[in-house]
Structure 1
Amino acid sequence: MTLDPQIADLIEALDSGFPPVHTMTGAQARAAIRSRFVANPAPEPVAAVADHQVPVDNGRIDVRVYRPDAEGPLPMLVYAHGGGFVFCDLDSHDGLCRNLANLIPAVVVSVAYRLAPEHRWPTAPEDFYAATCWTVEHAADLGADPARVAVGGDSAGGNLAAVTTLMARDRGGPGLAAQLLLYPVISADFDTESYRLFGRGFYNPRPALQWYWDQYVPAVSDRQNPYASPLHGDHGGLPPAVVVLAGHDPLRDEGIAYADALEAADVPVTRCSFEGGIHGFMTMPTLDIAHRARQQASRALADVLGR
């Protein structure tokens, strides 16, 4: 297994520059990550971008809707950004969402779920589920097909997408056509082989990944709940999944385990494996491997949604 050459050239700087979030409060970590963000002065064009608000329990959350220049009604992807359940936002994932909208092509609805530790589990998955319900209800207004709605996300967002498929099945809807899971957070197990191999020196260190869980689900007993760790759930009757796996990722093994569990429950799974990738690589647009992964995952999702 070989690290992608472009990543290999950057990994020392990436790893040494990763903020020591496990020594911070949630607000401090959020500020540290936000300070590193540089907006693209020339974002990838899409046909339209519109912001909306969605009612949730005890408040409202923002969503951003991207429509590509394509004839509809289009499929739709409801997307949850990564960031350890603690940071990142609509702006941090603007570039990825624009690109996915054009590549699939689909209407992409990016969801600003409420963040930990101020809003601990299960606020984030309930927010994302509510946004998914809103999206399906308003699909026609958004130029999309309510029968072809997928949920997706990267890292922590992949967790929320996976959990939302469980919620939708358990609660009798909405009907979902697919799930797109990009190196998802699936289980609070820090003793896997991939954690041992890649928990240091590969950009997202084990102390940070454990700290995210401490902020999000501080009660260890709650981490066995399938709505927190979807690996522990019943996986029957879930929608087809496209799962992106990064070879040099502490979360690699839980992603593999989830793909295996879905397949064991007769859920169709498309695995997109990038052995040279690290956790978070698809949001690094300077990397060629990031664009290959976006293209492959988008094609796989389009195939599922076109069935």
Structure 2
Amino acid sequence: MDARALLDPEIAEALAGMPSFDGFSFEELPALRAQREAMLAQVQLSDAVERRDLTVPGPAGAPDVVIRIHRPKGAAGPLPALYHMHGGGYVFGSRAMDDLRFDRWCPALSCVGISVEYRLAPETPYPGPLEDCYAGLRWVYEHAADLGIDRAWLGIGGASAGGGLASALALLVRDRGEFPIAFQLLIYPMLDDRMTTPSSRWEVPVWTPRSNEAGWRAYLGPRFGGDVPPYAAAARAGDLRGLPPAYVMVGSLDGFLDEDVDYAMRLTHAGVPADLRLYAGAPHGFDGLTPGTRLARLARRDMEEWLARQFAV
């Protein structure tokens, strides 16, 4: 299948001026990371949200974890909250990637946003990044009152690799049983290291099969191609019962299409409320890369409406 021929015309036009990203070497990562952080530094934010960074205890024997708290200015009382993990194929990104997302969502949804700075692969492979996310989430839950958060409505979410971490984190929270979470927002999550589905081999824009393999190799280290636990790749989980309600969104021209749709179906079969949204002609990351397009606006509206329902319960 020629996936590019099915690309939404408006998105295709918006992507035309952007540099392609097709695989990477580990030696290139420092320069690529610096380039992306420089781009993030140019993002213009509003003055409607207060942002502060906190350093909280990390996993046992590991460094502390930095989290960024976003709160709408002037908001009183405990608010619902979304604990979010940025994308970047497990090898790129920082908490700053979520600044624009929460600049919109915190005032619009009257919520608190938390973005976690987990360690990146390959320097820190699984389980380090996931344990960072768990440690930060546990601290937020335990200190919810001090943060002005109603922990009864504390949910988790993430985009791409962050969505993979969010789905794994939901499994970890369920199985450790130390505290509950209210929901999971999975934005085109990176779930399956095996890359055996038809869509995982498509030559699609943005995140190609070569990029996907490089990301999984970095994250899994010596586990790649072998015995991988479900906390590393949630698509491998055999039992999805008892997980919180989920929202799964993906574009029809995303290499993650098959694994994401399958995961949403398996959640449903396991008795977990799962809302699946599929956007025809959309590639990976379309809502952030082409924010002015019709599909991007639609995807943002759908996510916000679902989050508003979770927060209003």
Q: TM-score, normalised by structure 2?
A: 0.89
Return the alpha-carbon distance in structure 2 between the equivalents of residues 223 and 111 of structure 1.
28
Q: Which one of the candidate residues 275, 289, 295 is aligned to 1:289?
A: 295
Superimposed CA distance per residue, residues 29-75 of structure 1 (whole angstroms, 9 cap, x where no aligned partner): 423433554522x3134331111111113211211111125444211
Q: CA RMSD in A?
A: 2.1
Report whether the alignment pairs 1:59 with 2:63. yes
Report whether the alignment pairs 1:257 with 2:259. no
Question: Contact between 1:97 and 1:110, CA under 8 Å: does it hold in 2?
Answer: no
The code of the aligned residue for 1:77 comes to: L
Return the alpha-carbon distance in structure 1 between the equivalents of residues 216 and 229 of structure 2.
13
The code of the aligned residue for 2:284 comes to: H
Return the alpha-carbon distance in structure 2 between the equivalents of residues 228 and 26 of structure 1.
21
1:242 match: secondary structure: strand
Question: Contact between 2:204 and 2:253, CA under 8 Å: does it hold in 1?
Answer: no
Return the alpha-carbon distance in structure 1 between the equivalents of residues 97 and 210 of structure 2.
23
Superimposed CA distance per residue, residues 120-158 of structure 1 (whole angstroms, 9 cap, x where no aligned partner): 100011000111111111211121101111000000000
Which runs of 5 or more residues in structure 1 are unaligned?
A: none
The code of the aligned residue for 1:47 comes to: V
Q: Which one of the candidate residues 137, 144, 162 is aligned to 1:139?
A: 144
Return the alpha-carbon distance in structure 2 between the equivalents of residues 124 and 227 of structure 1.
11
1:51 match: secondary structure: strand
Report whether the alignment pairs 1:179 with 2:184. yes
Return the alpha-carbon distance in structure 1 between the equivalents of residues 210 and 143 of structure 2.
41
State the Cα distance separating 1:293 from its structure 2 match. 1.3
| Change over 3 Å in CA distance of 1:282–1:103 after alignment to 2 | farther
State the Cα distance separating 1:273 from its structure 2 match. 2.0
Question: Contact between 1:222 and 1:228, CA under 8 Å: does it hold in 2?
Answer: no
Superimposed CA distance per residue, residues 157-201 of structure 1 (whole angstroms, 9 cap, x where no aligned partner): 00111111111111113210000000001111323121233xx24
| Change over 3 Å in CA distance of 1:29–1:130 after alignment to 2 | same
| Change over 3 Å in CA distance of 1:300–1:61 after alignment to 2 | same
1:65 match: secondary structure: strand
Q: Which one of the candidate residues 199, 202, 213 is aligned to 2:216?
A: 213
Which runs of 5 or more residues in structure 2 are unaligned?
A: none
Return the alpha-carbon distance in structure 2 between the equivalents of residues 275 and 217 of structure 1.
31
| Change over 3 Å in CA distance of 1:61–1:3 after alignment to 2 | same
State the Cα distance separating 1:256 from its structure 2 match. 0.6
| Change over 3 Å in CA distance of 1:22–1:201 after alignment to 2 | farther
| Change over 3 Å in CA distance of 1:23–1:62 after alignment to 2 | closer
Return the alpha-carbon distance in structure 2 between the equivalents of residues 222 and 148 of structure 1.
37
Partner of 2:8: 4
State the Cα distance separating 1:252 from its structure 2 match. 1.0
Question: Contact between 1:12 and 1:201, CA under 8 Å: does it hold in 2?
Answer: no
Return the alpha-carbon distance in structure 1 between the equivalents of residues 210 and 307 of structure 2.
33
1:59 match: secondary structure: coil
Report whether the alignment pairs 1:39 with 2:42. yes
Moved more, 288-297 or 252-261: 288-297
Question: For residues 106-255 of structure 1, what are the structure 2 equivalents within 5 Å?
Answer: 106-197=111-202, 200-218=203-221, 219-220=223-224, 224-233=228-237, 234-255=239-260
Question: Contact between 1:93 and 1:283, CA under 8 Å: does it hold in 2?
Answer: no
Q: How many residues align?
A: 303
Question: Contact between 1:79 and 1:157, CA under 8 Å: does it hold in 2?
Answer: yes
Q: TM-score, normalised by structure 1?
A: 0.91
Name the % identity.
34
Report whether the alignment pairs 1:306 with 2:312. yes
Question: Contact between 2:70 and 2:114, CA under 8 Å: does it hold in 1?
Answer: yes
State the Cα distance separating 1:19 from its structure 2 match. 6.1
Moved more, 149-158 or 288-297: 288-297
